[in-house]
């Protein structure tokens, strides 16, 4: 490999990028747009759940029970019903997510020390939301039940009853449980993969469509020099995108870097070489920019979004799918990102993920080199 042959390729690629406004938009504007869109739209915090109540008991106890739900940020009263009529309509039309039905003997049973039933109807069209809401409702009911038991024994014994176990949870790394802090590292991983793979694959395929690739292949330029010349400009621009995403994430979502800036930089460089290697490999297969874009979406984008742990926990996936996730580079980069950005953990916490990225990067660049060499020879 000669630097004299490499420099003209790098300069030529930079000039083409500057001239092509679409590429600049994809590498600079698109990442910020996607971060803002996903950061605000993808929110797993289920709050202000719309609630309708049919209180048949109409007692002070039932009102206290309802307020126990409403004195939180999780439930919001929308309708106070006077009968069963209209319940089906509210759920069918999505006007409420939860309907609470309190029977008329609710307070009487509680005062008598008997179990009191409460019916909770939940809209299960959104299974994820329904599961979360059911957990909320169960937690509130259990909490109110413990309060009733404590008051009952206090009245009988004249002593204040304390629960045998004092539960004091302390959540590390994301104390406020903000979805944005969980999502921003995943968005960085997804957006970098998106921009790096697509821009690189389109760059090489564009040379084919213009007929300039044949001129390059018959020149003294070696495949390795061509690969480096095509990837180096996109490494710099993708790094710019990465730090732009981090800046926007800090300004809009208060996501700061707790770990080493140097480790973050090096891991990002490594991941970019993996992504650029995948883009080059796709470009050796695709015959047109349209095909390259489609292959990038099918082979890289969808798996990176669905199977990297960005949105859906890998441990909840079927075993066969979990095995497949081991071949998704974004999975390992995401572990490293969350370790550095959210936890402040050093290399000891994700060295195996870095090793996999390194091996995967060598594999993809080698495959690209072999295919380009075959085409040339």
Q: For position 58, which CATH number holds?
A: 3.40.1710.10
Residue 162 lies in a domain: no
Residue 163 lies in a domain: no
pLDDT for the residue 377: 42
Residue 165 lies in a domain: no
| Count of residues making up the chain | 377
Question: What span, in angstroms and rounded, lies between the C-alpha atoms of 180 and 186?
Answer: 10
Domain extent at residue 341: 3-43+178-376
Which position has the higher pLDDT, 162 or 151?
151
pLDDT for the residue 252: 84
| 91 plus 221 within the same structural domain | no
Contact 271, 282 (CB under 8 A): no
| 144 plus 234 within the same structural domain | no
Least confidently predicted of 152-166, 266-280, 334-348, 352-366 = 152-166
| 195 plus 258 within the same structural domain | yes
Which position has the higher pLDDT, 28 or 224?
28
pLDDT for the residue 146: 82
pLDDT exceeds 60 at position 130? yes
Smallest CA-to-CA distance from 255 within 342, 186, 194, 340 is with 342
| 251 plus 182 within the same structural domain | yes
Residue 170 lies in a domain: no
Residue 241 lies in a domain: yes
Residue 135 lies in a domain: yes
| 33 plus 58 within the same structural domain | no
Instruction: For 6-31, write each residue's pLDDT tens digit.
Output: 777 778 777 877 777 777 777 778 77
Question: What span, in angstroms and rounded, lies between the C-alpha atoms of 198 and 192?
Answer: 10
Mean pLDDT of 57-72: 91
Last residue of a domain, one of 157, 189, 205: 157
What value, to the nearest 5°, has the Cα angle with vertex 226 and ends 225 and 228? 65
Question: What span, in angstroms and rounded, lies between the C-alpha atoms of 278 and 303?
Answer: 13
Element (H, E) at 99: strand 98-102
Question: What span, in angstroms and rounded, lies between the C-alpha atoms of 322 and 231?
Answer: 31
| 203 plus 133 within the same structural domain | no
| 197 plus 273 within the same structural domain | yes
pLDDT exceeds 60 at position 373? yes
Element (H, E) at 331: helix 329-338
Mean pLDDT of 257-261: 91
Rounded to 10 deg, the angle between the 261-285 and 223-253 helix axes is 130
Question: What span, in angstroms and rounded, lies between the C-alpha atoms of 48 and 46?
Answer: 7
pLDDT exceeds 80 at position 65? yes
pLDDT for the residue 266: 93
pLDDT for the residue 339: 93
Which position has the higher pLDDT, 202 or 346?
346
Contact 24, 17 (CB under 8 A): yes
Smallest CA-to-CA distance from 26 within 217, 198, 185 is with 198
pLDDT for the residue 305: 87
Residue 188 lies in a domain: yes
pLDDT for the residue 174: 80
| 36 plus 53 within the same structural domain | no
Paired tokens of 1: 């490999």
| 232 plus 214 within the same structural domain | yes
Element (H, E) at 77: strand 75-81
Question: What span, in angstroms and rounded, lies between the C-alpha atoms of 329 and 281?
Answer: 15
Residue 11 lies in a domain: yes
| 190 plus 262 within the same structural domain | yes
DSSP state of 122: E
Q: With the CA atoms of 218, 224, 225 and 226 taken in that order, what torsion angle do they form, in degrees rounded to the nearest 10?
A: 60
Cα dist from 374 to 85, 93, 369, whole Å = 74, 61, 9
| 368 plus 275 within the same structural domain | yes
Number of domains composing the chain? 2
Cα dist from 80 to 51, 100, 212, 267, whole Å = 9, 10, 72, 55
Paired tokens of 34: 């996607």
**Phi, psi torsion values for 131, nearest 5 degrees:** -65, -45
Supply the mean pLDDT for the chain: 83
Last residue of a domain, one of 124, 157, 190: 157
Question: What span, in angstroms and rounded, lies between the C-alpha atoms of 230 and 322?
Answer: 34
Last residue of a domain, one of 157, 192, 212: 157
pLDDT for the residue 270: 93
| 142 plus 280 within the same structural domain | no
pLDDT exceeds 60 at position 5? yes
């Amino acid at each position: 490999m000669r630097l004299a042959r490499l420099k003209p390729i790098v300069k030529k690629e930079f000039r083409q990028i500057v001239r092509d406004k679409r590429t600049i938009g994809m590498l600079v504007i698109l990442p910020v747009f996607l971060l803002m869109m996903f950061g605000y739209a993808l929110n797993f915090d289920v709050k202000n759940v719309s609630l309708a109540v049919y209180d048949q008991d109409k007692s002070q106890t039932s009102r206290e029970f309802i307020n126990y739900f409403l004195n939180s940020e999780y439930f919001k009263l929308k309708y106070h019903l006077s009968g069963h009529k209209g319940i089906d309509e509210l759920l069918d039309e999505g006007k409420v997510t939860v309907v609470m039905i309190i029977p008329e003997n609710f307070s009487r049973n509680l005062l008598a020390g008997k179990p009191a039933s409460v019916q909770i109807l939940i809209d299960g069209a959104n299974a994820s939301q329904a599961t979360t809401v059911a957990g909320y409702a169960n937690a509130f009911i259990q909490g109110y039940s413990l309060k009733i038991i404590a008051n009952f024994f206090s009245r009988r014994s004249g002593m204040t009853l304390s629960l045998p176990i004092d539960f004091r949870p302390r959540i590390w790394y994301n104390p406020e449980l903000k979805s944005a802090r969980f999502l921003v590292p995943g968005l960085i991983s997804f957006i970098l993969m998106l921009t790096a793979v697509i821009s690189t694959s389109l760059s090489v395929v564009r040379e084919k469509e213009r007929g300039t690739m044949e001129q390059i292949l018959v020149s003294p330029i070696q495949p390795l020099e061509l690969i480096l010349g095509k990837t180096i400009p996109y490494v710099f621009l993708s790094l710019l995108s990465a730090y732009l995403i981090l800046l926007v994430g800090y300004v809009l979502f208060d996501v700061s870097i707790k770990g080493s800036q140097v480790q973050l930089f090096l891991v990002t460089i490594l991941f970019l070489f993996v992504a650029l290697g995948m883009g080059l490999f796709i470009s050796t297969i695709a015959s047109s920019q349209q095909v390259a874009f489609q292959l990038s979406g099918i082979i890289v984008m969808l798996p990176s979004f669905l199977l990297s742990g960005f949105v859906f926990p890998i441990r909840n996936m079927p075993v066969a799918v979990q095995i497949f996730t081991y071949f998704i580079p974004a999975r390992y980069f995401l572990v490293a990102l969350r370790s550095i950005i959210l936890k402040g953990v050093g290399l000891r916490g994700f060295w195996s993920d870095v090793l996999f990225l390194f091996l995967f990067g060598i594999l993809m660049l080698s495959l690209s080199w072999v295919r380009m060499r075959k085409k040339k020879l």
